[in-house]
Every structure is written in C-alpha cells, then in structure tokens.
Amino acid sequence: MPTPLGDAQRALLDRFTAGELTALARLISLVENGRDGFEALLDVLHPRLGRAHRIGITGPPGAGKSTLTAGLIRHYRAQGLRGGAVAVDPTSPFTGGALLGDRIRMNDVARDPGVFIRSMATRGALGGLALTTREVADVLDAFGFERVIIETVGVGQSELDIAAAADTTVVVLVPESGDSIQTMKAGLMEAADVFVVNKADRPGADRLARELSMMLHLRLGQLLRNIPAHHGVDLRRTAAPSGPVPAAAPTAPSDSWEIPVLRTTAETGAGVPELAALIGAHAEWLDRSGQRRRRRRQRLAERVREQVGRRLHALAWAERGGAAVLEEALPALEAGEVSPYQVAAGIVRAAVPE
Amino acid sequence: MPTPLGDAQRALLDRFTAGELTALARLISLVENGRDGFEALLDVLHPRLGRAHRIGITGPPGAGKSTLTAGLIRHYRAQGLRGGAVAVDPTSPFTGGALLGDRIRMNDVARDPGVFIRSMATRGALGGLALTTREVADVLDAFGFERVIIETVGVGQSELDIAAAADTTVVVLVPESGDSIQTMKAGLMEAADVFVVNKADRPGADRLARELSMMLHLRLGQLLRNIPAHHGVDLRRTAAPSGPVPAAAPTAPSDSWEIPVLRTTAETGAGVPELAALIGAHAEWLDRSGQRRRRRRQRLAERVREQVGRRLHALAWAERGGAAVLEEALPALEAGEVSPYQVAAGIVRAAVPE
C-alpha cells in the first residue's frame, strides 16, 4: 500500500529512476528541508534500499576525514563503483562554515558524474539531524550508489550515532589524538569497526597505533574473562602458583571481527587501498556472520521509532494547536502558577483524545 | 491544580523541604532514572524554582572544567552561598568512566554539606539526557542552592544545548585549543557569555586570549554593519576617499553584554574570584536588560515541548502497543514489503484515534 504521489513528485521520481543527478539533488533537498510529501517519496523508495554498503567515517575535527572520504571515493571510482557521500557540517551563521577547507578538498572528485557529495546543515532539520542524514543516505542508496559514505565529526553522542548507523564504521584519529585517548569520548572508541591513524607520517603515529592495538587486546581480554570457563582451560586454575602457565591461550569466538588498526596518509593516498580492502573484509564478515541483517533490522526499527516521534510531534504542535496552548500558558508558567508538566499534559490531552 | 502525591512521595518531599541531603540525593535519583511519579514531584517543586543562578560550564575534554567548577563552588562557599553541580559524564561500559580523575578532584569540596555534586550517566535517560540534566538542575534550584553549575563536555550539539540553557554560559578553552579555533565546533563559540582561557601558565595562553578578543570584536563589527545607519555617522560616507576617517567610532548598543575573555589557572585557583565576579556582573546584566526573564521564558517553553514529546512517546510505545506492532511488522520491513513510514503511520493511528 504505497502512499499516493502527486504529478510533480511522480515526474521527479521518474527522472531520479532514470539516473539524473539533478533529480537526485532535488530529492535530497526535499528530504533535507522536510518539504511536503517527502515522506511519501521516501516511502516509495524504500523497496530499492539495501544495495549500498554504508560506511560511517567519524573522528575528531582536523583528523582528515574529508580527505579520506575523497580518497575512498576515488578508489571506488577506479574500480567502477559509484560513490555517494553525505557530510554533516557544523556550519554556523557566525563562522560561516568552519569546514570550508574540507569542502574544497572534496571538490576535485565532485566533478565526476559517478560521484555525489552533499554537505548537511546542522540546524533546523525536521525531526533531528540524525534522522535526516540517514534519510539522505537512503536516497543515495536508492539512487544506485554502491558505496555511501556518511561523514560526521565524532564529538557528540548524536554525531556519533549518525556514523554508527552505517554498516561499517571507521574511526579516524591522528597522532595528536594520542595524548587524550584516556579523556576521549568513550563512545567514539566503541563505535569503531576499523581504526585509522591518519597523518601517519607525523611523529607519534606508531605509538598511537600500538596503544590502540593494546587497548583493543585489553578489551578482548575483558570479554574473554566474562565467558564462563565451560570450554577448554580454566585460566584461574592453570595460573595457580604451583606450576607454569601453559602456552595454550583461549581463542576468540570463532567468527568475531577483530578490529584492525590501519595507518594512512590521506593527503598522499597512502593506505587508502588498504582501508578499502579492510572495509571490504568487514562487509564480507557482516554477511557471513549474519550481523548485516541484525544491523539493518535495528536500523529499520529505529527508523520506525523516529518516524512515530516526528508524526506525533507534528500532530501535537502543528495540527492540534499545541503552540497556541503554550503561548497562552506562558504568563502563568512564569508566575509559577502552573508547571510545565501540567501544560504539557493539557497539550497531550488535546492532541490525543481518550 | 498540583498533581496528587503518594504517601512515600509526600514523606520524601517533607525531608527534602527540611533540607536533608539524603532526600535530595534520593529525589535526584528518582528523576535521573525516570521512576514512577517523578513528574508529579517536579510538578510540586515548580513554584520553588528560579532562586538559583545557573552557570553552564562547557568546553573541550581536558580543559579543566571540573577543577574550575570545584574552584567556583569553593569560592561561593567562602561567601556563604551554597553550590550544587550536575556534571554530564560520558561514562561507557568500555572505559568505565574516563573522567575518574575529574571526579576525584571534585571530592575535596564534596564533603561539605553546603555542596552537592552529581555526575549524570549519559545513556538511558528517559526523554533524553538534556531534559534529565535540566530537571536535576531544577531539583538543586528547588532545594535552595543559590548557585547551580551545569558542567558538560562541549563537543556535540546536545551537550552544548545543556550548558547553553543556563543563565550564564562559561566556555573554557586551553592554550592547546588555539590551533583549532578555526575548526572548533562553531556553536561552542556562540554559546559563550564568558570565555575562560584556563591553564593560563602554559605557552600560548596570551595568544589564544588575544585571538578570542579579536574574534569577538570582528563579530561585534559584523553586527554593527548590519545596523541601519539612522543614528549618528554613516560609516560608508565618512570613509569616502576624499577625507580622513573621523575618530568617532560607533558605540555598541548601550546595554549589550560585551563577552569578556579571562585567563585562569584552575589548579592553583588563580582567576577564580575574577571569574565569579564576571558571572556576577553577567547576572546583574541579565536582570537589568530583561534578558533573564527572556531566557527563563524560553526555557519554560522548551520544557513544555520536551514534556509533550516524552508523554507522546510513552503513550505510543508503552500504553498503546506500538512495540508489538513494530515487532510484528519487522519481517515485512526487512523484505521491503512495507516501509518504516507506513508502519509508523499505523502506530500513530493506534495511539491517536481520529
């Protein structure tokens, strides 16, 4: 039961289906700006999803994420694959776009018709930036790009969630990050399927790569300690002081993904083919292990939840007069005569009859 | 029309009103964990709000925010004021709390009964971390703390929004931040009512402070250029090539707040009294200019919006079976037979009868 489309929407969709880049750009704008009917369009596109491998690229500002994104897209193009990218860009009216340098670096790949790169504004997205970014990634997927890269500054939980919704999440660090691994946002470390130490020609790159590997081993060790010792050797018993510790170590669960740490120099392209190969290996593991299906299922459920939130919000605020109720209640709220909880209850009662 | 309370809640509220710290801690836990009836308690507390001056402290990891928070609270205590703080702590199951060092630094002020410091978990807060953090700040305000500090890592939009909801927002940078002012999250710069360059004994502190001042002047200049020249001198005419530029410069609108840049060394306490004085001056300006009322009004409206969202979410997912509908729809979603938009529409129809 697909949602009915208007004539203009149908015409746009036809051009989109024919592979016109201008139609792609137009459709992304409709989604980004939450224009009337964009949900009906996404609804129609839904059965075309799932062909692209989605790659999240995240990390601190200045780590070289955009250069790496451009490098990956160039690599994929050389293999005959088309690449789309959506970059979350913390533009602001004050600075007028701190990431201008990054955009320029991406331009040299952006003249190729098999490539499409979109910078998202970070404010005013209907229903939240995370949802809108994922919807733009959907549009790129539906258009037929075999690789879709989602690039975000991995500094806050919401930015991180965007990248972590990809099939493969690449966390990019630079030697300068080394000092602060301890104070780094913890979620950033947990999101990684692949670690990249970029600007690997700088001092400290080897040390950071070693520290990351060590940390990943510690983590694996912690996981193993939490596995009940019903298979093989009980570590606590064999480590008894009376005898030597046997060399036989427990192995990781047979089909787990061991998070690799790769050194790259995105500026020169060094390491980019290796990164693409690791992403490919992870994609194969996702298929083999059933993880791809599990991740996509989670993503679908999350999408439904977000949509419900967006619709309920529109219902309460746009359709059933919540804004007017709030406006009227403000003086009493300020005077402390009513609480926000009472006003909210009233708005919900108006929106949702018993 | 306050919401009716249960016996246990009334007893807790009596102890809270009598100033018992254990009751404060208990009430905060109820709010943080979204326990049954917490909204009724917040509802009752609402008329007691508005006495505390709320100070947001934000900045990159490692800038010394917690040390500065502890220093401010110590300063306020010496003036006979009570200080509460809520710190948003990006704990994770992996690292088990990267900010342990910060917590320890805060402990030496935490043995004083006129002080209360709470670290928030960053996951699982009902209705979002931002809302819950502000509600905990409300509880501290209602308890009677004259100063309430909200400390967040200013790295993502949501973390920033938390701090920016304060009466006075202090953005803390360190000399090491200097290189990256250009790539720094733009919103961080915009949120500041006061800039602090902490660790001012390190090289680069003076340069960073100068750059910040320059940036603030540029911004002021931009604002002035956008003011129509109906008063005084038209800059474009007086700057005509034929004559010298007159010395008379336009002044800023008479009661605007000029964002100051202060150097501190929180570890030694240097600059903390000056910071407290600047926060006090900003508080006076908020009252004088009417900004405090405007900010509180915005905060109340925002609170109502968040509450409506929370209630609608609970309604759709907990009360009217949204989860069961989603569960049932997952296979068809995976097969691409229905879209998330159709499933969401069904859940909303079930939750909100026409």
Q: Both tokens of residue B324?
A: 């069961």
Predicted confidence band of residue A212 (pLDDT cuts 50, 70, 90): confident
Task: Compute CA B135 distance to the chain's CA centroid, rounded to the nearest angstrom.
Answer: 11
pLDDT of B322: 84
AA letter at B292: R
Query: pLDDT class for A216, splitting at 50, 70, 90?
Result: confident
Which residues from A are below 8 Å from B293, CB to CB?
334
Q: In angstroms, rounded to a whole number, what is the distance separating the alpha carbons of residues B72 and B265?
A: 12
CB distance B345 to A311 below 8 Å: yes
Contact, B29 vs B116, CB < 8 A? no
Nearest residue on chain A to B40, judged by CA atoms?
A341
What pLDDT is recorded for position B270?
A: 95
Q: Which residues pair with A101 in a beta bridge?
A: none
Which of A12-21, A153-162, A274-283 bottoms out in mean pLDDT, i.e. has the lowest?
A153-162
Nearest to A297 among B309, B313, B334 (CB): B334
> What pLDDT does residue B153 have?
73
pLDDT bin (cut points 50, 70, 90) of residue A256 is confident
* Segment 131-190 of chain B within 8 Å of chain A by CB: 153, 155-160, 180, 182-187, 189-190
Contact: A341, B180; criterion CB under 8 Å: no
- Asked if residue A124 has pLDDT above 50, the reply is no
Q: Does A313 touch chain B (CB under 8 A)?
A: yes
Quickly tell me which residue has 């009598």 as its tokens.
Answer: B18
Q: How confident is the model at residue A223 (pLDDT cuts 50, 70, 90)?
A: low
pLDDT on residue A137: 94
Are A60 and A154 within 8 A, CB to CB? yes
Q: How confident is the model at residue A184 (pLDDT cuts 50, 70, 90)?
A: low
Q: Which of B62, B91, B301 sits opposite A183 (nearest CB)?
A: B62
Phi, psi values for residue A205, rounded to 5°: -65, -45
pLDDT by residue, tens only, chain B of 354 residues: 455 788 999 999 999 999 998 999 999 999 988 888 888 899 999 989 889 999 999 887 778 888 899 899 999 999 999 999 988 755 332 323 333 334 444 555 556 677 888 877 655 444 567 778 889 999 999 999 999 999 887 666 666 677 767 999 999 988 876 555 554 555 677 788 999 999 999 988 998 899 888 888 876 655 555 544 433 333 333 333 333 333 444 444 557 899 999 999 999 999 999 999 999 999 999 999 999 988 888 888 888 988 888 888 888 887 778 888 999 999 999 888 899 999 999 898 888 776
Q: Is the Cα dihedral B11, B12, B15, B17 positive or negative?
A: negative
CB within 8 Å: A183 and B98: yes
Residue with tokens 């409709």: A30
A277: its two tokens:
């190969």
Q: Which residues of A touch B159 (CB under 8 A)?
A: 156-157
Of A54-63, A310-319, B262-271, the least confident: A310-319
CA A264 to chain centre: 21
The pLDDT assigned to A180 comes to 55
Report whether pLDDT(A238) > 60. no
Do residues A88 and A100 lie in contact, with contact meaning Cβ atoms separated by under 8 Å?
A: no
Which residues in chain A have their CB less than 8 angstroms from residue B127's CB?
Answer: none
Find which of B31, B308, B347 to mutate to test the A interface (most A CBs within 10 Å of its CB): B308
Contact A352, B312 (CB under 8 A): yes
Spatial distance between the Cα atoms of A184 and A155, rounded to a whole number of angstroms: 9
- Name the token pair of B7: 């016996």
Q: State residue A247's pLDDT score.
A: 41
Check: CB of residue B126 under 8 Å from CB of residue B34.
yes
Q: What is the pLDDT of residue B354?
A: 64
Residue A103 has pLDDT above 50, yes or no: no
What is the side-by-side order of every strand in the sheet holding A83-89? A115-121, A83-89, A147-153, A53-59, A168-173, A194-197, A261-263
pLDDT(A235) > 80: no
Distances from the Cα of A202 to the Cαs of A60, A207, B189, B278, in angstroms? 17, 11, 29, 41
pTM to 2 decimal places: 0.67
By C-alpha distance, the chain B residue nearest A59 is B155
Beta bridge partners of residue A154, listed in sequence order: none
Does B316 reach chain A within 8 Å, measured CB to CB? yes
- Asked whether the predicted pLDDT for residue A251 surpasses 70, the reply is no
Q: Which band of pLDDT confidence, cut at 50, 70 and 90, is reported for residue A10? A: very high
Q: Which of residues 272-301 of B touch A (CB under 8 A)?
A: 293, 296-297, 300-301
What are φ and ψ of residue B48, in 5° steps?
Answer: -90, 0
Is B95 within 8 Å of A187 when comparing Cβ atoms? no
Contact criterion met (CB < 8 Å) for A312 and B313: yes
Cα-based angle A9, A10, A15 (whole degrees, multiple of 5): 100
Question: If pLDDT is split at 50, 70 and 90, which confidence band does A101 have?
Answer: very low
pLDDT band at A68 (very low <50, low <70, confident <90, very high): very high
pLDDT reported for residue A239: 33
- Interchain pair B184, A98: CB under 8 A: yes
Between A189, A316, A341, which is nearest B94 by CB?
A189
Return d(Cα B209, Cα B268) in angstroms, integer: 19
Q: Can you list the domains of chain A with their CATH numbers?
A: 1-47 (no CATH), 49-225+251-289 (3.40.50.300), 320-351 (no CATH)
**B309 contacts in chain A (CB < 8 Å):** 309, 312-313
| Angle subtended at Cα A90 by Cα A86 and Cα A127, rounded to the nearest 5 degrees | 70
Please enumerate in sequence order all residues whose Cβ is within 8 A of that of A34, keeping only pairs 6 or more positions apart, or say none: A125, A126, A127, A132
> Which residues are A172's β-sheet partners?
A196
Q: What was the pLDDT predicted at A224?
A: 54
Identify the DSSP state of A315.
I
Contacts of A194 (CB under 8 A, 6+ apart): A168, A169, A170, A171, A259, A260, A262, A275, A278, A279, A282
Taking each helix axis from N to C end, the angle separating B38-45 and B129-143, rounded to the nearest 10 degrees, works out to 50
Q: Which residue has the higher pLDDT, B263 or A313?
A: B263
| Any B CB within 8 A of A340 CB | yes
**Tokens 């910078």, located at residue:** A119
